[in-house]
Amino acid sequence: MKVACLLIPDFAVAVARRDHPETRGRPLIVAAAGEDAPRVRACCPQAVRSGVSEGMVLRRALSLCPKAAVVPADERALAETAAALRTLAERHSPAVEEAAPGHLHLDVRGLAQLAGLADEAYLADLQRAASAASGLPVSIGAGPGVFAAHAAAAAASAEHAGKTGAPPPVLVPEEGVAEFLAPLPVEVLPLPTAMHQRLRLLGIERLGQLAALPRSAVAAQFGPAGARAWDLAAGKDTSTVVPRRPERTAGAAMELPAPASTAEQLLAATSALLQQALEAPALRGAAWRRCTWRLELESGEAVVRVVTFREPTSDGERMLFVLRQKIARLTLPSPGVRLSLKLSGLCGEYGHQAVLWPSGPRRRRELLEAAEQLSARYGEPQIFRVVEVEPWSRIPERQLALVAFGR
């Protein structure tokens, strides 16, 4: 057992069912605001069988499946549930990949032995913890590769459809991957829906049927995606768990010494926090792209402003300049009591080509004087300029040379 897959099938629907138990027994459509009209964000398999699909205008979906219960998408609940599951997985494994919200791959090599458990017991323990963390039945599969684990979780979930609780974990043995995959439907392959449909139109419904075809024929029909699908169906999976890289941030927070409502007070506090955040020893000199400024008010509300800098910067003054405009425009319903800020989007600072003499002869005189002072101080010229000596030469070192600046 090398990889485990935690899967909550139809994640948005599962979360909506959990939060709206009154919809049990009815088809469910999760709706979200579209550009012009409300649209289907997700729907249960029963609604899919009635012809409803993701992205469809809600009015049309309801005409196809009139008995469906409609629930607005609760993005916050979705994000929180996905985060709870992710946090739990990251506590169990050093390498966790989030394929989608509610769908995680964990590198579990050696973890069962480390915990002194058999593989099955370890998976059952992981499943209990995941179900408790998310409040949802979590399917779990494990195998020697990412796809085998995913297929095992999907198979466990499909076999358990219509029943309550979580399906028992499925463990694929290392030497029997192709045999395990053979009877599974082609829909477990990570391919676009259109390709699943094309496979079915060609009479290929199971992975075993796909693997029985010549690889070259599948590749010729479906291109590189087909070749990859054939490899997976034949149990040849070389993919590995690619863990997400946690974003590096810097931040600081303070309780305001007195409830603050004027821009001047807030600016002074912001300036102090910026200085504190930028002085973190591990990240000193780093350039940041984004700043999240959060002011908690006496009334319990919070005012949040997210500022994205035009260029990444490590300069607190420049950050304050941008934040000043946001803070000055604030109208607070009650005084602020706690201020925090978080810098994110760590990256390199842009380089700028400085101009040596941007404003005529006076500037040039100053520069010459500064160059002379440096020469006097160190006993030899310190600033040079590149000159072409023999640009036509075939000998590279004869083409260009440095000459002391000002001579």
Minimum distance from residue 403 beta carbon to other proteins (Å): 6
| Closer by beta carbon to other proteins, 355 or else 386 | 386
Separation between Cα atoms, residue 407 and residue 395, nearest integer Å: 25
Judged on CB neighbours under 10 Å (0-12, 13-18, 19+), 134 is buried
Minimum distance from residue 397 beta carbon to other proteins (Å): 5
Cβ–Cβ < 8 Å for 292, 304: yes
List CB contacts of 178: < 8 A, sequence separation 6 or more: 211, 234, 235
| Closer by beta carbon to other proteins, 114 or else 404 | 404
Minimum distance from residue 190 beta carbon to other proteins (Å): 32
> How far is CA 188 from each of CA 6, 150, 183, 185, 240, rounded to the nearest angstrom?
14, 8, 11, 6, 18
| Closer by beta carbon to other proteins, 37 or else 389 | 389
| Closer by beta carbon to other proteins, 36 or else 397 | 397
Minimum distance from residue 389 beta carbon to other proteins (Å): 7
| Closer by beta carbon to other proteins, 161 or else 392 | 392
| Closer by beta carbon to other proteins, 193 or else 399 | 399
| Closer by beta carbon to other proteins, 219 or else 383 | 383
Minimum distance from residue 376 beta carbon to other proteins (Å): 13
Place of tokens 């599951």: 85
| Closer by beta carbon to other proteins, 318 or else 384 | 384
Place of tokens 């499909």: 158
Minimum distance from residue 359 beta carbon to other proteins (Å): 29
Separation between Cα atoms, residue 252 and residue 36, nearest integer Å: 41
Tokens of 70: 């409609």
Minimum distance from residue 329 beta carbon to other proteins (Å): 52
Cβ–Cβ < 8 Å for 105, 4: yes
Cβ–Cβ < 8 Å for 3, 107: yes
Minimum distance from residue 375 beta carbon to other proteins (Å): 8
Neighbours of 27 (CB within 10 A): 22
Tokens of 39: 């649209």
| Closer by beta carbon to other proteins, 163 or else 394 | 394
Question: What does the binding site for other proteins look like in residue numbers (CB under 8 A)?
Answer: 380-381, 384, 386-387, 389, 391-404
Minimum distance from residue 217 beta carbon to other proteins (Å): 36
Alpha helices for 135-247 (secondary structure H):
146-159, 177-181, 193-201, 207-212, 215-222, 224-233
DSSP strands (E only) in 276-330: 288-297, 302-313
Separation between Cα atoms, residue 44 and residue 10, nearest integer Å: 7
Separation between Cα atoms, residue 170 and residue 382, nearest integer Å: 71
Continuous segment of H or E residues that includes residue 376: helix 360-378
List CB contacts of 273: < 8 A, sequence separation 6 or more: 252, 253, 254, 339, 340, 341
Closest to 231 in 3D by CA, of 243, 246, 213, 250: 213
